[in-house]
Amino acid sequence: MKFLDQVKIYIKAGNGGDGSPSFRREKYVEYGGPDGGDGGKGGSVIFKSEENLNTLIDYRYQQHHKAQRGENGAGQNRTGKGGDDLILKVPVGTQVFEEDNKTLIFDFNNKGEEFIGASGGRGGLGNTRFKSSTNRAPRKFTKGIKGEEFEIWLQLKTIADIGIIGLPNAGKSSLLAAITNANPKIANYKFTTLNPNLGVVSYDDKEITIADIPGLVEGAHEGVGLGIQFLKHIERCKTLIHLIDITNLDLNESYMQVKNELKNYSSELLDKKELIVLNKIDLVDKNIIRDLIDDFSKDKNCEIITMTTLEKDSISKIKAKLLSYAS
């Protein structure tokens, strides 16, 4: 499934049905009075969040959405049938913005939430409504009210307990595949991950959601590489796993490069809980790992652990650690 996290769409609620100007026409009733019914209400456009969705790709191919019009009123005081509401399903984490793409209207944080994007128009009044003691045969009736219509933006910000960040080729996708049920693309070159990947970690009868974010390179907050498109997906994560390839020549430089991109995008990201994971220890001489950690850990205010995705013990250790950070 292709990934899309932002789209502009047009929504139009149904117009209300017109009232009826009908009069009674019955045998032996010479002066039948008004019997026109009211028009039906137009259907509304309603957004509903679904847990099993993780992309807005469906709205790329269909960008105009209209709810059903209300039926007109009829004689014998029959009210027109109301138009059916149009239900548009969106992933949890979707935000609805006005046409300027800046003014937030609604934010879907939980499954099953509903938001009326455009309200259907009221039905018009039939001539029966205008009958009075001084006007026994009113011909007046009203048209239905037009339904609301808007152009809006939908933006998806992934909701996960923990987000995995790091430079390209740090092993983020391998980690996600090793500890969850996700099947991200894995290869030994930069930008293997082109979209955020979600997975669920199950351990000790508990579950946490993990998001793998495409690698951040220098200048990502300004649009370099792929990071600017996906930095927003870690804004909702409770904790960040900062994954670093321990074979890098300068661990501090690798660490600060990513931290600077987070800071330049939003300083609030620096306030999130952080766990540093030094990955690929199977590629380094065990005798120098402790020295690398001791040197790197200076002036760090967060926990640092090591791992390799090739060892089951290492996978179990990181799973247990993640549960404590997600709570």
C-beta of residue 150 within 8 angstroms of C-beta of residue 22: no
- Specify the CATH number of the domain 1-156: 2.70.210.12
**Mean pLDDT of all residues in 82-97:** 95
Beta bridge partners of 244: 278
Which residues, 6+ apart, have CB-to-CB distance to 228 below 8 Å? 220, 221, 222, 265
Q: For the segment 292-322, what is each residue's pLDDT rounded down to a tens digit?
A: 888 888 888 899 999 988 888 888 888 888 8
The predicted model scores a pTM of 0.75
Higher pLDDT, 86 or 312: 86
d(CA 266, CA 150): 30
Main-chain phi, psi angles of 287, to 5 degrees: -70, -20
Among 15-24, 127-136, 194-203, 270-279, whose mean pLDDT is lowest? 194-203
**Edge-first strand listing for the sheet containing 114-118:** 86-91, 45-50, 114-118
Among 51-60, 205-214, 305-314, whose mean pLDDT is lowest? 205-214
At 193 the pLDDT is: 45
Cα-based distances in Å from 91 to 3, 12, 319: 12, 21, 26
For 58, other C-beta atoms within 10 Å of its C-beta total: 14
- The SS3 call for residue 302 is coil
pLDDT at 70 over 90: yes
Q: Where are the domains of the chain?
A: 1-156, 162-326
Question: Residue 295 is encoded by which pair of tokens?
Answer: 């040197």
Higher pLDDT, 163 or 182: 163
Closest CA to 14 of 67, 91, 81: 67
- The SS3 call for residue 278 is strand
Grade residue 186 by pLDDT with cuts at 50, 70 and 90: very low
Which residues, 6+ apart, have CB-to-CB distance to 44 below 8 Å? 13, 14, 67, 85, 86, 116, 117, 118, 119, 120, 147
CATH C-level class of 162-326: alpha beta
Which residues, 6+ apart, have CB-to-CB distance to 324 below 8 Å? none
At 221 the pLDDT is: 43
Render 66-118 in DSSP notation, one character per residue. EPPPPPPPBTTTBPPPPPPPEEEEEETTEEEE-TTS-SEEEE--STT-EEEEE
At 188 the pLDDT is: 44
For 264, other C-beta atoms within 10 Å of its C-beta total: 14
d(CA 175, CA 279): 9
